[in-house]
């Protein structure tokens, strides 16, 4: 009888020590479901196995092997496995500053629109970005990886030009939504009540929640939680222990941070910190 080798799966996230402004994710044989969340960087998803659906405020087709999905910072979305098959994929998280460095010519200031871009058929682009990811995975692959990544990002920006994309212009959201969002950004580590937010903008609480969810994609309390998780990632990157991070960003304790962090990223805060 032939004994089948057990497939080992999981998610790993780490920062490139060679290229500042780039974080890497590799998922193998996983079916982790990501709840609604957003990133503080451009998320470039390279799908290798199985099917996965990204849900924003409009339906998107399921990704299959060879597909690329790009989301800009702040875009609320959730990621769901499409069937019973285990998923393999890679992600590149690129800061706006690195994207500017990679794709803008001297004198240019406006980035191409990559808010919600799906590239479903460009195999060469998929391979180029995948090779950049694999190169940055190696300890000695910084020079090659940066070269491949900047070339791949430039090609991705060129691909996006002229493509139709659904976008949300944050400047067009209602003023009261902007006020509440800015308040939560500034007070992510504080205890905030709905009545406090309602008084801030002089609106009925029920209307405020409905309006905020419609514009941002999340209710106010979930938005604050996501800001806390974003701040937690930044603190973990700087080497602060998870137990301290939990208190700094406003979670009740480390177990609360750990549960929500793994739900949103697929890894625990300690594993995330070790990957840096």
Tell me the torsion sign for CA atoms 31, 117, 136, 234.
negative
Tell me the pLDDT tens digit for each residue of 35-72. 999 999 999 999 999 999 888 876 667 899 999 999 99
CB atoms under 10 Å from CB of 218, counted, come to 17
Which CATH number is 10-160's, of 3.10.129.10, 2.60.120.810, 1.10.520.20, 3.40.605.10?
2.60.120.810
* Architecture field, domain 170-274: Orthogonal Bundle (1.10)
Burial of 1 (C-beta count, 10 Å sphere; 0-12/13-18/19+): exposed
Q: Which of 156, 132, 151, 160 is nearest to 24 (CA)?
A: 132
Q: Where are the beta strands (DSSP E) in 112-221?
A: 116-119
Cα 227–chain centre separation: 12
pLDDT band at 190 (very low <50, low <70, confident <90, very high): very high
Tell me the pLDDT tens digit for each residue of 63-86. 999 999 999 999 999 999 987 789
Mean predicted confidence (pLDDT) in 13-33:
91
Question: Tokens standing for 265?
Answer: 């990223």
User: Are 10-160 and 170-274 equal in CATH topology?
Assistant: no
Per-chain mean pLDDT for the chain:
86
Tell me the pLDDT tens digit for each residue of 103-126. 877 677 777 778 778 887 788 899
Reported as type and span, the H/E element at residue 1 is none
CA distance 240 to 244: 7
Question: Tokens standing for 209?
Answer: 């929640």
Tell me the pLDDT tens digit for each residue of 114-172. 877 888 778 889 999 999 999 998 866 677 888 889 888 988 888 876 553 333 344 46
Residues 6+ apart with CB under 8 A from 64: 47, 51
- Indicate if the pLDDT at residue 3 is higher than 70: no
Question: Tokens standing for 222?
Answer: 């979930």
Q: Where are the beta strands (DSSP E) in the chain?
A: 10-15, 22-30, 34-37, 42-49, 52-55, 68-71, 77-81, 87-94, 116-119
Q: For tokens 């969810």, name the residue.
A: 213
């Amino acid at each position: 009888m032939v004994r089948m080798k057990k497939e080992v799966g999981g998610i790993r996230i780490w920062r490139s020590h060679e290229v500042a402004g780039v974080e890497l994710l590799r998922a193998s044989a996983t079916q982790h479901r990501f709840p609604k969340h957003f990133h503080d960087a451009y998320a470039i998803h390279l799908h290798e196995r199985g099917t996965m659906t990204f849900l924003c405020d409009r339906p998107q087709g399921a990704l299959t092997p060879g597909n690329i999905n790009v989301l800009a910072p702040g875009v609320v979305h959730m990621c769901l496995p499409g069937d019973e098959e285990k998923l393999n994929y890679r992600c590149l998280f690129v800061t706006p500053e690195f994207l500017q460095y990679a794709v803008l010519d001297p004198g240019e200031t406006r980035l191409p629109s990559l808010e919600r871009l799906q590239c479903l058929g460009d195999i060469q682009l998929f391979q180029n970005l995948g090779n950049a990811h694999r190169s940055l995975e190696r300890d000695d692959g910084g020079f090659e990886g940066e070269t491949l990544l900047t070339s791949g990002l430039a090609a991705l920006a060129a691909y996006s030009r002229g493509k139709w994309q659904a976008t949300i212009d944050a400047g067009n959201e209602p003023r009261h939504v902007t006020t509440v969002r800015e308040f939560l950004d500034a007070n992510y580590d504080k205890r905030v009540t709905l009545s406090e937010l309602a008084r801030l903008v002089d609106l009925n609480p029920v209307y405020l929640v409905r309006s905020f969810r419609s514009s941002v994609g999340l209710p106010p309390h979930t938005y604050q939680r996501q800001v806390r998780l974003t701040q937690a990632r930044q603190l973990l990157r700087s080497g602060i222990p998870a137990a301290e991070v939990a208190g700094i960003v406003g979670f009740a304790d480390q177990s609360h941070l750990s549960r929500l962090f793994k739900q949103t990223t697929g890894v625990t805060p300690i594993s995330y910190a070790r990957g840096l």
